Amino acid sequence: MKKKINIILFDDAIAMLCKISRIISNPFSHGLLITLGGAGSHTLTRLATYMQNFNMFEVEVDKDFGKENWLDFIREMLKEIVLKDVNSVFLVSDS
């Protein structure tokens, strides 16, 4: 299920959205977004992913998340990407 977001786009946000969209539209591309707080960059990345009609993979880390959980997540993500041959975005948060 897609998450509904309320967002106000201003000039800097639109410029960042264009940059993110350009980055993810290139094959085998990657980007590192460093921002304060991170909520805006996450939202803009989700929006760019939706605009490009890509799948979004985001790991949810909590106190019980360990090495096996990480390996399972990566394994399932790669199965989805490789077997179904779909364009995807893998979003990692520092929190």
pLDDT reported for residue 67 = 92
Q: What is the chain's pLDDT, residue by residue, as a tens digit (95 residues)? A: 567 777 778 888 899 999 999 999 998 888 888 877 766 888 889 899 999 999 999 888 888 888 999 999 999 999 988 898 888 998 887 76
pLDDT reported for residue 49 = 92
Answer whether residue 31 is part of any domain. yes
pLDDT reported for residue 75 = 94
pLDDT reported for residue 55 = 92
Q: How far apart, in whole angstroms, are the C-alpha atoms of residue 38 and residue 57? A: 17
Q: How far apart, in whole angstroms, are the C-alpha atoms of residue 55 and residue 83? A: 14
pLDDT reported for residue 40 = 84
pLDDT reported for residue 95 = 63
Answer whether residue 5 is part of any domain. no
Answer whether residue 23 is part of any domain. yes
Count of structural domains, the chain:
1
Answer whether residue 19 is part of any domain. yes
CA atoms in the 13 A half-sphere facing the CB of 19: 10
Answer whether residue 4 is part of any domain. no
Answer whether residue 78 is part of any domain. yes
- The residue range of the domain holding 57 is 11-91
Q: What CATH number did the domain enclosing 47 receive?
A: 3.40.50.300
